[in-house]
Amino acid sequence: MANTEYDVLIVGTGAGGGAVLWRLCEKWKNSGKRIGVVEAGGLVLPTHMNNVATLGGERAVRFAASHKVPFPAIEDPVEFPLAKQVLALGGKTIFWGLVSPRFPPSAFAEWPLSYEEINPYYNIAEQVMNVGPDFFEDSSAQQVLFKRLQENGFPNVIPYPYAVYTKSSKYGKVFSNPFFSSIVFLAYALNLRAFDLAVSARCVRISQDKDKVTGVTVMDPALRSYNIKAKKVVLATSTLENPRLMLASGIPGKAIGHYLTDHSFIVAGGKASRKEFPEIPGIVGLLMPASEHEPFQIQMGGGIGKEVYFQQYQNIPFQEELSLHILGFGEVQPRYENRVFLDPAKRDRYGVPFIKIDFSYSKRDYAVINRMEATLKRFAASAGVTLQKEPGQTEICMRQPGGSIHEAGTCRMGDNPLTSVTNRFGQVHGISGLYVADNSVFPTVSGTNPTLTIVALAIRTADYIALQ
Ligand SMILES: Cc1cc2nc3c(=O)[nH]c(=O)nc-3n(C[C@H](O)[C@H](O)[C@H](O)COP(=O)(O)OP(=O)(O)OC[C@H]3O[C@@H](n4cnc5c(N)ncnc54)[C@H](O)[C@@H]3O)c2cc1C
């Protein structure tokens, strides 16, 4: 790859990087354009964890935990302690929870693009990721709880929009790879045309000449370094690594690393009596979406049945109660003072400075958290679910910052280069050829899971690059 000049070089293969790759391969199918991809991680799994028959129950949880590691290069993680990174082909999408709602139209009020502009890209993202409610269709527990919630104060409740392939093939219902990960993007791309991919290739620097990107420097685990030339570079290494690379490479921009945002995150466990449900209750996935009036989302999952992916190959003893988990994701205001910045005193083994993080909740963030907690309680009560309390804990626990793994905003898009890092298409202000395509470009996070929006925006950025 060091002997090739790429038309586009993509850094990172998570939700954002994978989506850009697939879309560019589609747009540039027979064009002879050269596309390269560098990925710091290795080949951890060839698919989403749920598609692997040997990863069930506790084993899956342990395996995922061993790869969801704390972001290694934070010097002092006190203010953002739970930030996690998955260094792997496919990034976090090989372990993600697949819940894929759209941001509500009101969430785009502070964005440089409207809901109408992103809508066609949401349609494409939903289609390519197979997002739909069908996975929960046959579950009687889902039907019972849905009805209870609808009738008891939550008329807007919906089944999880879930990124899983459920359609029948010509052989009947035969699935080999139903749960979506970014590896599916790689597969689609590979079936369209050739591209070059290096794994265990960590980007350590973005090269520029005057105001133009010229490529990147990558290092392998043996610390050999390679300069890869490219006319355009798409950074998709996520919210903490993107600003680290940009700042360490001397990319100018007052907003780089600032406006770090996240979801405030509360969790509760609950039980419902098994007697209230038919013999085989099935899997549950129900969600109260964030809206103009409620900047938070409540979601409830769990259930019992052979169709629950973790339980497919297990013998489950009869359980008297249905176990459910209830989560709340709250919007956190993007504020300039919440930021990622370099710690020049400490460098990793590749010579890249560590980062430090300043992060705190605002008064409004705490107000959202309080309302979200009260709504979660009402949600559980409406569904007939009794919240459980671990000894010494409260019914509802709040995770520390970073715990939602939905951090965003450090390369936010906007029209003003003083308060944003990229333009409305993900192109970095003032540096021609440099793009960002992942959750770091979000100006705000709504109270909504981010990945569908990451993919929709990344496809839009790829279309823009292809048009150039
Ligand atoms: C357990 C879990 C459950 C989740 N559930 C949901 C859910 O239900 N719904 C939802 O919307 N979201 C969920 N998420 C979050 C979702 O996975 C992320 O929002 C999404 O994957 C982020 O995509 P990304 O492209 O920004 O980053 P990532 O997926 O993290 O991709 C970043 C990529 O960059 C690579 N990389 C990093 N540094 C470098 C470097 N220096 N050089 C080269 N490559 C580099 C990484 O290896 C990785 O491939 C969940 C996450 C986890 C871990």
CB of 12 closer than 6 A to ligand 1?
A: yes
CB of 91 closer than 6 A to ligand 1?
A: yes
**377 part of a folded domain:** yes
Residue 374 sits in a domain whose CATH number is 3.30.410
Q: Ligand 1: which of 237, 404, 435 to mutate, most ligand atoms within 8 Å of CB?
A: 237
Do 13 and 72 belong to one domain?
yes
What is the spatial distance between Cα 347 and Cα 20, in angstroms, rounded to a whole number? 30
- Residue ending a domain, choose from 400, 425, 449: 400
Do 224 and 290 belong to one domain?
no
CB of 402 closer than 6 A to ligand 1?
A: no
Do 197 and 325 belong to one domain?
no
Do 62 and 95 belong to one domain?
yes
Task: Report which protein residue has its CA nearest ligand 1's atom 41.
Answer: 203
What is the spatial distance between Cα 261 and Cα 425, in angstroms, rounded to a whole number? 20
pLDDT of residue 311: 60
Residue 237 sits in a domain whose CATH number is 3.50.50.60
Q: Is 244 exposed, middle or buried (0-12, 13-18, 19+ CB in 10 A)?
A: buried
The region that residue 164 occupies, defined by phi over 0 for left and psi between -120 and 50 for alpha, beta otherwise, is beta
Do 221 and 269 belong to one domain?
no
Do 211 and 303 belong to one domain?
no
**355 part of a folded domain:** no
Closest CA to 100 of 47, 179, 45, 25: 179
What is the spatial distance between Cα 181 and Cα 64, in angstroms, rounded to a whole number? 14
Q: Which atom of ligand 1 is the closest one to the Cα of 438?
A: 26
**59 part of a folded domain:** yes
What is the spatial distance between Cα 221 and Cα 223, in angstroms, rounded to a whole number? 5
Structure tokens that stand for 246 in this block: 């940009």
| Structural domain count, the chain | 2
Do 116 and 237 belong to one domain?
yes
The region that residue 223 occupies, defined by phi over 0 for left and psi between -120 and 50 for alpha, beta otherwise, is left
Structure tokens that stand for 423 in this block: 């333009």
Q: Which atom of ligand 1 is the closest one to the Cα of 439?
A: 26
Structure tokens that stand for 376 in this block: 């979660």
pLDDT of residue 460: 98
**214 part of a folded domain:** yes
Q: How much distance in Å is there from the Cα of 439 to the middle of ligand 1?
A: 9
Please give the mean pLDDT across all residues of the chain.
94
pLDDT 10s digit of each residue in the chain, 468 long?
999 999 999 999 999 999 999 999 999 998 999 999 999 999 999 999 989 888 877 888 899 999 999 998 999 999 999 999 999 999 999 999 999 999 999 999 999 999 999 999 999 999 999 999 998 888 889 999 999 999 999 999 999 999 999 888 778 777 778 999 999 999 999 999 999 999 999 999 999 999 999 999 999 999 999 999 999 999 999 999 999 999 999 999 999 999 999 999 999 999 998 888 877 778 899 999 999 999 999 999 987 655 555 666 767 677 788 889 999 999 999 999 999 999 989 999 999 999 999 999 999 999 999 999 999 999 999 999 999 988 888 899 999 999 999 999 999 999 999 999 999 999 999 999 999 999 999 999 999 999 999 999 999 999 999 998
CB of 13 closer than 6 A to ligand 1?
A: yes
pLDDT of residue 172: 79
Do 318 and 431 belong to one domain?
no
Structure tokens that stand for 155 in this block: 């008329």
Q: Cβ distance 6 to 231 under 8 Å?
A: yes
CB of 454 closer than 6 A to ligand 1?
A: yes
The torsion angle over the Cα atoms of residues 456, 461, 462 and 463, rounded to 10 degrees, is 90
Do 42 and 171 belong to one domain?
no
CB of 68 closer than 6 A to ligand 1?
A: yes
What is the spatial distance between Cα 58 and Cα 183, in angstroms, rounded to a whole number? 24
Q: Which atom of ligand 1 is the closest one to the Cα of 440?
A: 26
**345 part of a folded domain:** no
Residue-wise pLDDT for 223-239, tens only, equals 999 999 999 999 999 99
Q: How much distance in Å is there from the Cα of 230 to the middle of ligand 1?
A: 24
Do 269 and 252 belong to one domain?
no
**441 part of a folded domain:** yes
- Residue ending a domain, choose from 348, 374, 400: 400
Do 222 and 315 belong to one domain?
no
CB of 15 closer than 6 A to ligand 1?
A: yes
Do 140 and 17 belong to one domain?
no
Task: Report which protein residue has its CA nearest ligand 1's atom 5.
Answer: 97
Q: How much distance in Å is there from the Cα of 293 to the middle of ligand 1?
A: 29
- Residue whose pair of structure tokens reads 């509802």 in the numeric block: 396
Q: How much distance in Å is there from the Cα of 436 to the middle of ligand 1?
A: 14
Q: What is the 3-state secondary structure (H, E, C) of the chain?
A: CCCCEEEEEEECCCHHHHHHHHHHHHHCCCCCCCEEEECCCECCCCCCHHHCCCCCHHHHHHHHHHHCEECCCECCHHHCCCCEECCECCHHHHCCCCECCCCCHHHHHHCCCCHHHHHHHHHHHHHHCCEECHHHCCCHHHHHHHHHHHHCCCCCCEECCEEECCCCECCECCCCCCECCHHHHHHHHHHHCCCEEECCCEEEEEEEECCEEEEEEEECCCCCEEEEEEEEEEECCCCCHHHHHHHHCCCCCCCCCCCCECEEEEEEEEEEEHHHCCCCCEEEEEEECCCCCCCEEEEEEEEECCCCHHHCCCCCCCCCEEEEEEEEEEECCCCCCCEEEEEEEEECCCCCEEEEEECCCCHHHHHHHHHHHHHHHHHHHHHCCEEECCCCCCCEEECCCCCCCCCECCCCECCCCCCCCECCCCEECCCECEEECCHHHCCCCCCCCCHHHHHHHHHHHHHHHHHC
**426 part of a folded domain:** yes
Task: Report which protein residue has its CA nearest ligand 1's atom 4.
Answer: 96
CB of 262 closer than 6 A to ligand 1?
A: no
Question: What type of residue is 402?
Answer: G
Give the residues across from 428 on adjacent strands.
422
What is the spatial distance between Cα 347 and Cα 316, in angstroms, rounded to a whole number? 49
Q: How much distance in Å is there from the Cα of 206 to the middle of ligand 1?
A: 21
Q: How much distance in Å is there from the Cα of 194 to the middle of ligand 1?
A: 24
Please state, in angstroms and as integers, the Cα–Cα distance from residue 283 to each residue in 18, 146, 270, following that order: 29, 12, 15
**61 part of a folded domain:** yes
In this structure, the chain runs to a length of 468
CB of 40 closer than 6 A to ligand 1?
A: yes
Structure tokens that stand for 436 in this block: 């960002």
- Residue ending a domain, choose from 344, 377, 400: 400
Domain that holds residue 298: 133-179+263-331+362-400
